[in-house]
Chain A
Amino acid sequence: MWKRFPKYRSTVALFVLAAGIVGFPKLIPNPYYLNVANIIGLNTIIVVGLNLLVGYAGQVSLGHAAFYGIGAYISAILTVTYGVPSWPALIVAASVTGLIALIIGIPTLKLRGHYLVMATLGFNLIANIIIVQCDTVTGGPSGFPGVPALSLGGWTFDTDEKMYYLIWLFAFLAILLALNLAGSRVGRGLKALHGNESAASCVGVPTKTYKVKIFVLSAVFASVAGSLYAHYLSFVSPKTFDIFFSVELVTMVIVGGMGSIWGCLFGAAFLTSLPNVLHSFDEYKDIFYGLILVVILLFVPEGLIVGVAQRWRASRTARPKDQPGLETDQAGPRDLAPPQEKVNIVGSFASQVQIAPCEPILRIQNVFRGFGGVMAVSEVSFDILRGAITAMIGPNGAGKTTIINLICGVYRPSHGTILFQNRSIERLQPYQIARLGLARTFQNLQIFDNMTVLENVMVGLHAKTNNEFLVSMLHLPAFKREETQIRQRAMDALAFFNLENHADIPAYQLSFGQQKRLEMARALAPNPQLILLDEPVAGLNMTESLEIAELILKMRSQGISVLLVEHDINVVMRISDKVVVLNYGIKIAEGSPHEVQTNEDVLSAYLGGAV
């Protein structure tokens, strides 16, 4: 049943969670557990938000305790010192924290890896010291007492039990919003930028904006949890928000399972209750805590929830027959040919205006790009013709891939202009160029390993679709409409490339040839005006090459302009309308395949000296 109705799985799980939340206080023998449950709920809110940042977008922050603390202190100070009602104070706190996250996030999220870790850690340390030092406002190291309990319409949340329902209502909402976002266009965009930032940008994901937005969102989650914390304990102390708590929060994400919202709930519950469980070990409790953490990370690095689920599933699908889609693997190269009855995805989306060939769709004008002292591309100019196949050939190191990277915005030209449909694009970001109707494949395959086959194609439609954070999180009607379209379109694209049976397996499990087709499906799904194919037949056998060549011709017949970079001269000469030859970053010839084949400069570049 689980397998047959996957889309009800999370709904059922949410109902189970809701029932568990309501039932828990009736089941416990001792009200002390409510206190622990409340802290778990607060941590769940933070960790669910943090998981979107760490698990989905792959940006590790060791500064989220600071956002928790800022939320708590703003709520405390506003309600106590300034007499602001508690709910407006919570909203102000969340807004201010979001603003701080935005200001911090814009420069910080330019950093990668360890630099990002250090910068967020530094921010946390600074925030903590400022809170301690501004003692006239914050109460300094001894903390800030006397925060009133929350109330709503005459109902005051003044006991552990009342607060329990409120905190867990928020935790439930946090989980719901995060699940919605994770399964949306935005969630796929975040996963893609985690997998490979440049490639994500090339398929249309605005990576920089997304990183900052998800950082701000996770900070707001933490701030709300902080406000609730302040009202719950009626006391705020700077010690609660130090860097060690930041570390603990990320640990909860990892122990639960990065990228698993349910894992967060578990991670928060496990690591919050662990010190209580270990309490009896007294002075040895740190040792056990560290030891348990190390053992989990050593042996279940996927996280406890994800790891256990994976192993359970693996044990159930041990027989090869049960593995979906894998049997077609043996079909060999023949399955590459697009069968006739499949939906023809090439050109089925946009209006197909017939335009006379020879008009350029993209013009490269005097483009120059150096790397350090090396001139990769030097004063190159040529046109890519609309509705035609333009090939770019040249020996290794001629600058072909550099030109592709210049066109799609990964590099910027040192000087020169690139016009796409008469619009200058050389200053645009890759995702903006993708939105104009330009798609590409990569010389070294850039499949998003952390996503399924279907998701890989769905993320390819990013440039052509619009659902953003709010629509996705709230599952507004617009969301469902577009999501259905995306899924349908992606399935069509997969079917066209005979990959539909593999839709739900992780993309890294595909064979090399299948991954090449997957990349093409991803590039063609949004029905681009111009597609840049970087060595599409490299590594394929002759039958497969011919099939790809057929497909490229088909793209042309549907009005898609093609820039083909390829070493396979047979393919190039057979299908191209125009060939551009590069050598050492300089264009040495341009013309029809026949003209180029007889050009002496080309012959000497390729065959070495006089022929």
Chain B
Amino acid sequence: MSILDHLPQFIVSGLTTGSIYALIALGFCIIHNATGIVNFTQVDFVSLGGLMMYTLLLSLGLPLILAFVLAVVAVTVVGGLVERLAIRPARSRAVIILIFITIGVSILMRGIFKILWGKNQMGVPHFSSETPITFFGATILPQNLWIFLITFIAVVALQFFFSRSRIGKAMRATSFNPRAAALMGVNVNRMILFSFALSGALGAVAGIIIVPITTLSYEIGVMLGLKGFAAAVLGGYGNSLGAVIGGLLLGVLESVGAGVISSTYKDVIAFSILLLVLFIKPSGILGYGDTERL
């Protein structure tokens, strides 16, 4: 069988992980737009989403939808707490200090997860049946479809939130010019808080929908999260459309690359593509170069 026959399969699995990357990348972008930083706890929001789902669904035996909602709410609250306890009290507003604060919080959170959930690997059942569907030669699990659907809903809802709602508009204003937004009566601190909460929710959704088709552990979000960061950079850091495009592109390219060359070099391929794109276009696919004004 030639590579070409496998192509639909590669694309389907690429779009699946790509959707996850896109959701995570969106989380990175939202916080970047509000604060200018890279929030590395995004990685742990993903892990926590999956871990909460495991506990609510399997340990507490809650129904799927309830477990889903509660897991998202829990991580949303955690996102807000990260902002309140670790970002807002910071004495320095320097971007690099804030970034390393999030790295410290990330280490802390992973330490807590390791104690609460242990180091062993866990499994979470699929949302619906596990009978695959064949479609143009590709085998698609119903869970893949759930991932596409939920990602699509999340992206559309986010778009509506930012373009229609009062808070969404205020958050956008904050990202363009926090001082001007504050002068117009926007509570900038609250917008930053919301952005952490929203990123938490997005990370949780990503973690929840991916765990049925992967193995869950306390640090599942780390590699996924780094790829999400890569996707956000690839699309143009801070650009939401770029984040979605970057996520899907990275997912598909890495899946096809792994299929064509070797799956052991999957990550090498993904990051090599990223570096190549950056060397050609230093501000990502949809990003604008930031220039210092003189």
Contact = CB atoms under 8 A, between A and B. Distances in A.
Q: Kindly name the residue among A202, A287, A288 whose own CB sees the greatest number of chain B CB atoms within 10 A.
A: A287
Interface stretch (A4-12, A117-125, A582-590): A117-125
Interface stretch (B84-92, B134-142, B153-161): B84-92
A290 B292 CA distance: 35
Nearest to A299: B91
Interface in A236-267: 243, 247, 250-251, 254, 258
A294 B230 contact: no
A294 B108 contact: yes
Given A121-B226, A293-B107, A297-B97, A283 B272 contact: no
Contacts of B292: 196-199
Contacts of B3: none
Interface stretch (A106-114, A502-510, A592-600): A106-114
A287 B109 CA distance: 7
Contacts of A114: 32, 38, 233, 237
B168 to A, nearest CB: 23
A111 B278 contact: yes
Nearest to A295: B104
**Which DSSP category, helix, strand, loop or mixed, fits chain B's interface?**
helix
A337 B233 CA distance: 52
B294 A115 contact: no
Interface size of B as a range: 35 or more
B90 A298 contact: yes
Q: Kindly name the residue among B86, B104, B272, B278 whose own CB sees the greatest number of chain A CB atoms within 10 A.
A: B104
A264 to B, nearest CB: 15
Contact of B100 (A107, A110, A291, A297): A297
A284 B111 contact: yes
Interface string B252-294: 0000000000001101100110110011001110000010111
Given A199-B294, A301-B91, A401-B294, A117 B108 contact: no
A452 interface: no
Interface stretch (A33-41, A315-323, A439-447, A571-579): A439-447
B241 interface: no
B109 A290 contact: yes
A133 interface: yes
Contact of A410 (B229, B279, B282, B294): B294
Contacts of B271: 122-123, 125-126
Contacts of B111: 284-290
Interface of A: 54, 60, 107-108, 110-115, 117-119, 121-123, 125-126, 129-130, 133, 196-199, 202, 243, 247, 250-251, 254, 258, 283-291, 293-294, 297-302, 401, 405, 410, 442-444, 446
Given A287-B111, A287-B112, 10 more contacts: A114-B233, A115-B278, A118-B230, A133-B265, A287-B108, A290-B104, A293-B108, A297-B92, A301-B92, A405-B294
20 contacts: A54-B96, A108-B278, A111-B282, A113-B95, A113-B237, A115-B284, A117-B38, A119-B278, A198-B294, A199-B292, A251-B104, A283-B114, A286-B107, A290-B104, A293-B100, A294-B108, A297-B100, A298-B86, A300-B91, A410-B294
